[in-house]
Structure 1
Amino acid sequence: MFIVPSLEDIRQAILRDVQSLEPQADISVDSDYYARASSLAAVAEGLYAHQKWIIKQFFPDTADTAFLEKHAGLRGIRRRNATYSSGRGATIIGQPDAVIKAGLQIKTEDNRFYETTESAVISATGSVVVSVRSLATGATQNINRTTPASFMAAPVGVQTDLTLNEVIGATDAESDSSLLERLLEIIRRPPAGGNRYDYELGHCLLMAWMPLMFIPCAEA
């Protein structure tokens, strides 16, 4: 491990060298030698710290986010982006034959925004279910239970209030730990011409991580 000496340690080393070359030199706290050693030690400490940071970036498991993505990119691995939620989950009430257009914005009580993705007409029963999608990405945009919401601007003949349910599928951006796990897997197990783990590796590179069960084929 790269150990960075402290400013005090560096300064003492400089003063020790000065005194070894000039035994009568004044290296007390108020001396010129002490002041110069302090300034030089401060510069050296910064260089040591920068070297330590550089060493961290050499290895994927210690690299910062930007350099981890660089390591992964060299092997064709990209961080998975956050995704949107969607679903046929907006129950809208209004007058029969009232028209609902695609692109109408909807807001929930906790300030999440969605929009209709299809046009529809209120049925004779006075309601219709319409597909919607979130306007923001991330798992927080998923709606798994009935949630009150309202149109930002309701069409003519349509109630402002509505309910959302089963608007799902949104995921967060891939974490550093997940990206690192995929990268280390391909480093430890590079493609090997159809070896059994190649199939699991290929699946993990294309799909979300999930446990797989492989059934061995009967030998010919």
Structure 2
Amino acid sequence: MFSVPTFQKLHLVIVQEIRNKTGLTISADSDASIRADGTAAVVEGLYQHQNYIQRQLFIQTADEPYLYIHAEELGLPRLGGTRASGTIQATSNIDLTVLAGTKVTDGKGHYWSVVADTQLKANVATVLSVNADQVGASWNFSGSTLLFVSPIAGLAGIATVISISGGSDQEELEDWRARLLERKQLGKDRDRNTDLISKLKEITGIKHVYIYPKRRGLGSLDAAITAVGSPPTLPTQALIKTAQDFLDAEEAFWGDLRIYAPTEQFLNVSAEVSGSSSDLSSVETTIRDYFAELAPAEEYQSAVLTARIMALQYVTDVKLTPSSNVVPIVNWMYTNWIRLGSLAVSQA
């Protein structure tokens, strides 16, 4: 790697050249030394500019504005965010119509709007489709109820949430950089699993892709996808359809290819922690992080989770339930995905 000379080194080289040509004795406060400082500063700036240019030439080191240039060359734009959507149940004590645009809220600054005019019968729970008012993962809702904003007469003010998900933020800069670098390293598309994964990750909202060859028999190739979230969540049917349509439209090598969602297999966990001054919230976070990392078809390993908890400060022992490994069900019909169910952490 080329070694860039320091300012002091540049100054000494210039001063030495002046001495060689004039025979002057140059002190630090002389006119020649001051001029040498100015020249050295300009040369140092030119070196810094060359370093800046060199940094932008490579995906690994390019600044954000120049990544857009690399992305245009590779045909891999940065993924934008998506709006969360889902369904809620509403009830009323009279027949009425809930108009499109009617808003529900969690009371914390997040709003969702009803998609279409919907007729409600008296005392009959009716399903309403809603979309988030803004783009972002913060509008994915995991609670059980939302509040109608200024409900009309007869409409219950509380709505029961069936499911609201699918929202995602703009792609993180380093995630985008990793995709660009992977695409450049892969080169021309071929029939590799990595090519399929790279293609699917071009779709906004997809977090992970897991490839299962011959799942439905010879010649078949299936891909289970998860949706962006913290932790990653199951994809919506709309996202699955988008991914399937995207690949069907591709002039690729894949023939009998099916996109599907894994099946959640919930695991209830309890942990009794020994150790004075041990932080139970850190134990809970460690357990949640472990389950967030599990991929579809990956088994729960109690020894791994126990080791992570034992590595926490002040923890001397832990009694974990389940205490044995749990292998998810995987067959031609189901690809189970172990997820955290209820969690209880207590001091032994």
Alignment CA distance shift 1:102-1:7 (3 Å): same
1:128-147 to 2 correspondence within 5 Å? 128-147=126-145
The total of aligned residue pairs comes to: 212
- Please tell me whether residue 177 in structure 1 is matched to residue 171 in structure 2: no
1-structure distance, mates of 2:2, 2:137: 39
Q: Which has the higher strand share?
A: 2
Alignment CA distance shift 1:202-1:107 (3 Å): same
SS of corresponding position for 2:112: strand
SS of corresponding position for 2:177: helix
Alignment CA distance shift 1:2-1:126 (3 Å): farther
Contact 1:102 1:118 in 2 (8 A): yes
2-structure distance, mates of 1:132, 1:4: 59
- Please tell me whether residue 123 in structure 1 is matched to residue 118 in structure 2: no
Which of residues 92, 99, 102 in structure 2 aligns to 1:101?
99
SS of corresponding position for 1:167: strand
Alignment CA distance shift 1:31-1:13 (3 Å): same
- Please tell me whether residue 196 in structure 1 is matched to residue 191 in structure 2: yes
AA aligned opposite 1:6 = T
2-structure distance, mates of 1:163, 1:18: 84
Displacement of 1:3 in angstroms is 4.4
Query: What percent identity do the matched residue pairs reach?
Result: 25
SS of corresponding position for 2:209: coil
2-structure distance, mates of 1:113, 1:6: 56
SS of corresponding position for 1:80: coil
User: Which structure has the larger Rg over C-alpha atoms?
Assistant: 1
The equivalent residue for 1:61 is 60
Alignment CA distance shift 1:145-1:107 (3 Å): closer
2-structure distance, mates of 1:46, 1:113: 51
The equivalent residue for 1:14 is 14
Alignment CA distance shift 1:102-1:14 (3 Å): same
TM-score by length of 1: 0.81
Alignment CA distance shift 1:150-1:42 (3 Å): farther
- Please tell me whether residue 206 in structure 1 is matched to residue 205 in structure 2: no
Displacement of 1:78 in angstroms is 1.5
SS of corresponding position for 2:213: coil
AA aligned opposite 1:9 = K
AA aligned opposite 2:166 = G
SS of corresponding position for 1:212: strand
2-structure distance, mates of 1:5, 1:128: 74
Cα-to-partner distance string for 1:141-180 (whole Å, 9 max, x where unaligned): 11022254341x4334334554545210011222233323
Displacement of 1:88 in angstroms is 0.5
Contact 1:149 1:162 in 2 (8 A): yes
Alpha-carbon RMSD across the aligned residues, in angstroms, is 2.7
Alignment CA distance shift 1:134-1:5 (3 Å): farther
The equivalent residue for 2:269 is none
2-structure distance, mates of 1:59, 1:95: 64
46-55 vs 201-210, greater mean Cα deviation: 201-210
